[in-house]
Structure 1
Amino acid sequence: MPRYKSLLRWEPFPYLLLLVVLLLTGFVRPSSPPWLLWPLVLGIAACLAWIAVKVAQERRPANPDQWGNLSSLADLRLVDAPGAEREVRAVVHVEDAQRHQAAIELARIHGGPDQHAVLVPRASRWLSMRYRIGVELVGGAERGDRPRHAGFLRHDAEERWGALLDTRGAAGEYLRVPARITGESRPFGVELDLSGAEALEPGDAA
């Protein structure tokens, strides 16, 4: 999985490019030679068209959306990775859970403390160029609620599982893993059991 978005996929880029082109209008006058004036006019028109396309894409329904958030489980191909039977339970803590306390609390209300999470590769925060692996709590979605974004995998877990999740995501498949919401009240934490994902790696396909 790539670490960063390309510049062309970064959300603010069309607006920054338009700003640069508009700044150039301060140096290019209507009386300027055509070879200088018309490229600027065409550049402004191209930027406006690009922004219109980007806005249309952002408003177009998608699941997951361009930031990796799920709106439902409908039409998703989920691959279950149940936790492996082990004496010691190894867990991965979800980063940024402190930013999503309301969503986690709703997921706990509708789905209970022990539920499932769907991992979404190539997720990101708004305005961030870095790709992350999003964590969507779906215990409530399995009972009529919608998925709730809980944060992202830790960086070490992304390094370990990024390639597998990205390959599955490119094929339209998303891993569903056991999750536990820790704490009886805010601040909540979220732990994931990724031990079952080992069986889905190519070398362990058998």
Structure 2
Amino acid sequence: MTRTLRKPLWRWEPGPYVLLILLLIATGSIPPRRLPVLYTVLFVLTAVVAVVLLVLLVRQGLRGRRNPDSAGILNSLDDLELVPLSATDAPITPVADTARHQAALESVRVRAGASPVAVLVPDATRWLGLRIRIAVHLVAGDRVYHAGFLPDRATERYNEGLRALAARRAYVSARSTITGAAARYGLDVDLGALPALLDTAGSEEARA
């Protein structure tokens, strides 16, 4: 049975903001004269969380936009190492959620043809989502388009290995094929060589 991977709540992007709102509500509901100790504790916790959030926001502003961002979406290939997969005759892997990315698939087909390079990004999510997936991006010239996600079975099998590569700014690229016609495009990816590549990368990291 396929196991769906999920982010822990403390890694969920809105988590600190939700915590701050809950603390503000709780603090505001406590009468300080009747329950001074509890009120003081909640007030201090609220202040600490607010300061931590402020520090995080300042640090994000100083560092600029992340690539990939917290949802695993690429905005360019600058400063990234692509690790290409060899083409195989193994069964292809259909990409999920392509119905949400028809405009991107149309643009890629026009700019790069029906067989663009796909780039896999681990630990991706939908916006504000908790479900961990592997995002599939397509390269067309100097632009990168998000085209969907690998199925849950592939995420369970490959996400950890891809995460280890991503830690050193390396991302796997693979042959892909855009199928179908306008407004009904699909996308298939050749992942036949991925298990061997991840095994090799894991062995090299263990020896390092």
Task: After superposition, give the CA deviation of every residue in 1:64-110 in whole Å (9 maximum; x if it has no partner).
Answer: 111111111111011000212x3xx5211111111111122222222
Equivalent residue number for residue 102 of structure 1: 103
Residue in structure 2 matching 1:171, options 168, 172, 184: 168
* Mean CA deviation greater in 149-158 or 29-38: 29-38
Pairwise CA distance, 1:131: 1.2
How far apart in 2 are the matches of 1:156 and 1:179? 18
* Whole-angstrom distance in 2 between the partners of 1:47 and 1:32: 24
Shift of 1:15: 2.3
Q: How has the CA–CA distance of structure 1 residues 57 and 5 changed in structure 2, closer, same or farther, with 3 Å as cutoff?
A: farther
The change in CA–CA distance for 1:58 and 1:103 in structure 2 (over 3 A counts) is farther
- What amino acid is the match of 1:13? G
In the alignment, structure 1 residue 43 sits paired with structure 2 residue 40: no
TM-score, reference length from structure 2: 0.84
Query: Is residue 150 from structure 1 mapped to residue 112 from structure 2 by the alignment?
Result: no
Partner of 2:69: 65
- Where 2:187 maps in the other structure, the secondary structure is strand
More off after superposition, 53-62 vs 64-73? 53-62
CA RMSD of aligned residues (A): 2.4
Kindly indicate whether the alpha-carbon contact (under 8 Å) linking 2:86 and 2:174 is maintained by their aligned counterparts in 1: yes
Q: Contact 1:118–1:175 (CA<8 Å) still a contact in 2? A: yes
The alpha carbon displacement at 1:26 in A equals 4.0
Residue 198 of structure 2: aligned partner: 201
In structure 2, stretches of 5+ residues that fail to align are none
Q: Residue 20 of structure 1: which of 19, 22, 31 is its match?
A: 22
| TM-aligned CA deviation for residue 40 of structure 1 | 1.9
- Give aligned-pair identity as a percent: 38
More moved, 111-120 vs 10-19: 10-19
Which residue type is aligned with residue 128 of structure 2?
L
- The residue identity in structure 1 corresponding to 2:86 is P
Note closer, same or farther for the CA distance 1:28–1:201 as it changes in structure 2 (3 Å cut).
Answer: closer
| Runs of 5+ unmatched residues, structure 1 | none
Query: Partners in 2 of 1:168 and 1:154 — Cα distance?
Result: 20
Q: Structure 1 residue 158: deviation in Å?
A: 1.8
The letter for the 2-side match of 1:22 is L
Alignment TM-score, normalising by the size of structure 1:
0.85
Whole-Å Cα distance in 2 between the matches of residues 28 and 130 of structure 1? 36
Name the residue aligned to 1:79: 83
- What is the distance in 2 between the residues matched to 1:19 and 1:115? 45
Q: Distance in 1 between matches of 2:12 and 2:21?
A: 15
Q: Cα distance 1:171–1:113, how it changes in 2: closer, same or farther (>3 A)?
A: same
Secondary structure at the aligned position of 1:201 is classed as helix
Instruction: Report the counterpart of residue 192 of structure 1 in structure 2.
Output: 189
Alpha-carbon distance, 1:160 to partner: 2.9
Query: How many residue pairs end up in the alignment?
Result: 198
